[in-house]
Homo-oligomer: A and B are copies of this chain.
Amino acid sequence: MTTWDELWERNRVYSETHIPRPNLPDVKPSPIIIFCCIDLRVPVQEFFQTSPEGAQLNCGGRVKPNLNDLIFMEATQVGALQNIIVIHHTDCGFTYHTDKGLKEKLNVRHPNLVAEVDSLSWDTFGSSDRLEESVREDLSLLREQNFIRQELKDNAKGYVYDIKTGTLKEVV
């Protein structure tokens, strides 16, 4: 288990050889944004052999929570973004849970917060059978967006990543 003290010390060592980064106006925006799970078994930067290239990491790799970030990029970096990629993966934590089950769990722990629990949603997958369907849902959500260029919507691709084989399978 990594403690915060260890991370802090690692940052101190890192900073000794850190090369100052350029200011934002001199940085070329990433042409690709990847929606992917935070799961450590899905190492985007390794399997693409790149530093995370605009990787938007959240639970499950769902698009909805970070859709506004995409709108931000479209509004501020006109035309820079060329591809949107959605990656869900096998054995994801989201396959083990349903929103309904999570709410029941929270209601047991917080019986006085029924309304607040009811307002929550995660769009968990509920089952490993739903992985391709969940990718399709996210691609559909993207394609419904008014603030995203048609070209970018047309280029969007979705994949299921297999933690056992390390390969991506395109979802069509």
Report A's interface with B, CB cutoff 8 A: 1-4, 7-8, 10-15, 18, 20-24, 27-28, 30-32, 38, 40-41, 43, 45-59, 65-66, 68-69, 71-73, 75-76, 82-83, 85, 91-93, 96-97, 102, 105-106, 109-110, 113, 116, 120-122, 124, 146-147, 157, 163-168
For A53, the closest partner residue in chain B by CB is B2
Chain B residues closer than 8 Å to A120, beta-carbon distance = 68, 71
- Asked if residues A166 and B72 are in contact (CB atoms below 8 Å), the reply is no
Q: Which of B24, B27, B51, B164 is in CB contact (< 8 Å) with A21?
A: B164
- Asked if residues B68 and A121 are in contact (CB atoms below 8 Å), the reply is yes
Q: Which of B3, B13, B82, B157 is in CB contact (< 8 Å) with A49?
A: B13
- Asked if residues A116 and B168 are in contact (CB atoms below 8 Å), the reply is no
- Asked if residues B51 and A40 are in contact (CB atoms below 8 Å), the reply is yes
A155 shortest CB reach to chain B, Å? 8
- Asked if residues A116 and B166 are in contact (CB atoms below 8 Å), the reply is no
Chain B residues closer than 8 Å to A106, beta-carbon distance = 71, 75, 147
Given that A24-B91, A85-B4 are known contacts, is A52 also in contact with B30, CB under 8 Å in the complex? no
